[in-house]
C-alpha cells in the first residue's frame, strides 16, 4: 500500500454555519463547497489548502458517527485521510496483515471518493481514512 499524500483532515464541528466564518474569515480559506453525505449522516464543507484539504463535518443525526463523536469528545480533529491509488488493493493488504478495519469494503464519501476507515485501535488512537479519488 502506498500512501500518496495527506488528502484531508476531518474536523468535527457542531455547526457549519458557526465554523465556516472561522475558516474563511480568521484563516482566510475559501470554502469550495458543501455536500451532504447521507450514508455518513453528515454535511461536509471542504477548504482546499495547497495539495490537501480541511473537511469540516457537521452531524445531521445525533446517532451518526460525528454526532456520537461530538457527544463524547466535543468538537475537534476527527480523522486523517490519506490518498491511495487503489483502495481495493490497500484493503486487501491491510486485511492480510490482520489490521482491524471499520470498513471491510469501500464506501462512497464526499466528492465521489471511495473511502474506508481503519479502526483507531489499530493505529494508536488515530482514526485513519484511506481514500481513492479519480
Ligand atoms: Zn474524511
pLDDT of residue 64: 95
The CATH number of whichever domain residue 19 belongs to comes to: 3.10.180.10
Classify residue 1: in a domain, yes or no: no
Q: What percent of the chain has a predicted confidence (pLDDT) above 90?
A: 91
- Give the separation between CA 66 and CA 56, rounded to whole angstroms: 11
- Cα of 98 from ligand 1 centre, angstroms: 23
- Cα of 26 from ligand 1 centre, angstroms: 23
Count of domains forming the chain = 1
- Cα of 84 from ligand 1 centre, angstroms: 13
Mean pLDDT over 67-73 rounds to 96
| Mean pLDDT, rounded, of the chain | 95
- Cα of 117 from ligand 1 centre, angstroms: 9
Four-residue CA torsion sign, 73, 75, 76, 82: positive
Confidence of residue 112 (pLDDT cuts 50, 70, 90): confident
- Cα of 97 from ligand 1 centre, angstroms: 23
Is residue 39 over pLDDT 90?
no
Classify residue 70: in a domain, yes or no: yes
Confidence of residue 110 (pLDDT cuts 50, 70, 90): confident
pLDDT of residue 74: 97
- Cα of 80 from ligand 1 centre, angstroms: 7
Mean pLDDT over 47-64 rounds to 96
* Residue 32 structural domain: 6-132
- Cα of 79 from ligand 1 centre, angstroms: 7
Is residue 134 over pLDDT 90?
no
Contact call for residues 54 and 101 (beta carbons, < 8 A): no
Classify residue 72: in a domain, yes or no: yes
Global pTM value: 0.92
- Cα of 115 from ligand 1 centre, angstroms: 8
- Give the separation between CA 42 and CA 61, rounded to whole angstroms: 8
Mean pLDDT over 8-34 rounds to 96
If you write DSSP's letter for every residue of 29-81 in order, what string do you get?
A: -----EEEEGGGTEEEEEEEETTEEEEEEEESSTTSHHHHHHHHH-SEEEEEE
Amino acid at each position: 500500500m502506498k500512501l500518496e499524500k495527506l488528502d484531508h483532515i476531518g474536523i468535527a464541528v457542531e455547526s457549519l454555519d458557526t465554523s465556516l466564518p472561522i475558516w474563511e474569515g480568521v484563516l482566510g480559506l475559501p470554502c469550495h463547497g458543501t455536500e451532504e453525505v447521507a450514508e455518513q449522516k453528515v454535511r461536509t464543507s471542504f477548504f482546499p489548502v495547497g495539495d490537501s484539504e480541511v473537511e469540516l463535518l457537521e452531524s445531521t443525526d445525533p446517532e451518526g458517527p460525528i454526532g456520537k463523536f461530538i457527544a463524547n469528545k466535543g468538537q475537534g480533529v476527527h480523522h486523517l485521510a490519506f490518498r491511495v491509488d487503489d483502495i481495493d488493493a490497500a484493503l486487501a493488504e491491510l486485511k492480510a496483515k490482520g489490521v482491524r478495519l471499520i470498513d471491510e469494503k469501500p464506501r462512497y464519501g464526499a466528492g465521489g471518493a471511495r473511502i474506508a476507515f481503519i479502526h483507531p485501535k489499530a493505529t494508536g488512537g488515530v482514526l485513519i481514512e484511506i481514500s481513492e479519488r479519480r
